[in-house]
Amino acid sequence: MSTSRLIVLAGLGLALGAAACRIVPVDQAAPAGWTHAYLVTPAPGSPAVLYLWVTNPTARADTVTGVRVTDADSAQVHRTTAMGGGMEHMVPVAALPVAAHDTVTLSPGGVHVMVFGMPAGLRAGDSAAVTVTFRNAGDVAGYARVITYAQVDSLVMR
């Protein structure tokens, strides 16, 4: 995946955050939450990957402390770090800060959620129940759209 594609995705995330700030008055701001969630079906024997945008339209910083996917064994927030020479590795992120009025984009090549032990029957087009736990906003539940790896590219290029 090219760097320019990642920048496009990050730019979309920033645009979303900016739009939320303009439209929602501060005293009526929604609590922190998440949107644009896509669960990428795993290759056999591999973990699935969850991408999403974490939004914080409030005036107070918040922190993501965990993510759960219903019927999966476990899920863990990871950060991908370049090691040079084209190598990269992933480190677990126990607490992911989300500044006030900010959007954090979990996207290919950066921060993502690794999902272990997905049920085998999951197919592209299905929905997966996801709960993101925030230190201040608490549990925020919703659905991620299940897609294939091939669809990740078309998402990011749009």
Interface positions with Cu ion (CB under 5 A):
78, 90, 114
Q: Which residue is nearest to Cu ion (CB)?
A: 78
**Inter-axis angle of helices 3-23 and 149-157, nearest 10:** 60
Question: How many angstroms separate the CA atoms of 97 and 39, rounded?
Answer: 22
Q: Which is nearer to Cu ion, 101 or 112 (CB)?
A: 112
Give the count of alpha carbons within 13 A of 135, CB side only: 12
**Closest separation in Å from C-beta 49 to Cu ion:** 7
Q: Which is nearer to Cu ion, 23 or 83 (CB)?
A: 83
H, E, C per residue of 75-92:
EEEEEEEEEECCEEEEEE
Question: How many angstroms separate the CA atoms of 102 and 105, rounded?
Answer: 10
**Closest separation in Å from C-beta 28 to Cu ion:** 36
**Closest separation in Å from C-beta 93 to Cu ion:** 10
**Closest separation in Å from C-beta 150 to Cu ion:** 19
Q: Which is nearer to Cu ion, 42 or 57 (CB)?
A: 42
Q: Which is nearer to Cu ion, 16 or 68 (CB)?
A: 68
